């Protein structure tokens, strides 16, 4: 079975400071990993993904994430936080060897609050 853990319910960071939102995963094979962002009363927006290749993945709005196989982590990062980055962030994992519809498992979400 696949699973995702986001250990922090909320992360507070001052505007202009670097931010990190943590994610660890568990799958039996090599994972597909995703980050999504959700603004209030909205659906999720895709930020970035790791499928294969370079461990550092760059995505939308200046976000990036680093795949670390030994630590089974896929932390989301941004060098300089903006107030507009305040939202709910979800990490997700998919096991491409799972067969069937290869459903995605989402973490519980981390609320990012950027303080002006």
Partner 1 sequence: GAVVSQHPSWVICKSGTSVKIECRSLDFQATTMFWYRQFPKQSLMLMATSNEGSKATYEQGVEKDKFLINHASLTLSTLTVTSAHPEDSSFYICSARPGTGVGEQYFGPGTRLTVT
Contact (Cβ atoms closer than 8 angstroms) between residue 104 and residue 36: no
What are the contacts of 54-59 at 24+ separation with CB within 8 A? 59/35
Q: Does 61 bind partner 1 (CB under 8 A)?
A: no
Q: Does 99 bind partner 1 (CB under 8 A)?
A: no
Q: Does 12 bind partner 1 (CB under 8 A)?
A: no
Tokens of 108: 């519980």
Q: Does 83 bind partner 1 (CB under 8 A)?
A: no
Q: Tell which one of 44, 66, 73, 75 touches partner 1 (CB under 8 A).
A: 44
Q: How many CB atoms lie under 10 A from the CB of residue 97? A: 10
Binding site for partner 1 (CB under 8 A): 32, 34, 36, 41-46, 49, 51, 90, 96, 100-104, 106-109
């Amino acid at each position: 079975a696949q699973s995702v853990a986001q250990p922090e319910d909320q992360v507070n960071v001052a505007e202009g400071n670097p931010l990190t939102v943590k994610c660890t995963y568990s799958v039996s094979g090599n994972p597909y990993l995703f980050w999504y962002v959700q603004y209030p009363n909205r659906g999720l927006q895709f930020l970035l993904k790791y499928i294969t290749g370079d461990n550092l993945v760059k995505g939308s709005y200046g976000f990036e994430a680093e795949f670390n196989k030994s630590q089974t982590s896929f932390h989301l990062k941004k060098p300089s936080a903006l107030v507009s980055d305040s939202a709910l962030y979800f990490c997700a994992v998919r096991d491409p060897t799972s067969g069937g519809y290869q459903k995605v498992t989402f973490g519980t979400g981390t609320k990012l609050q950027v303080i002006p």
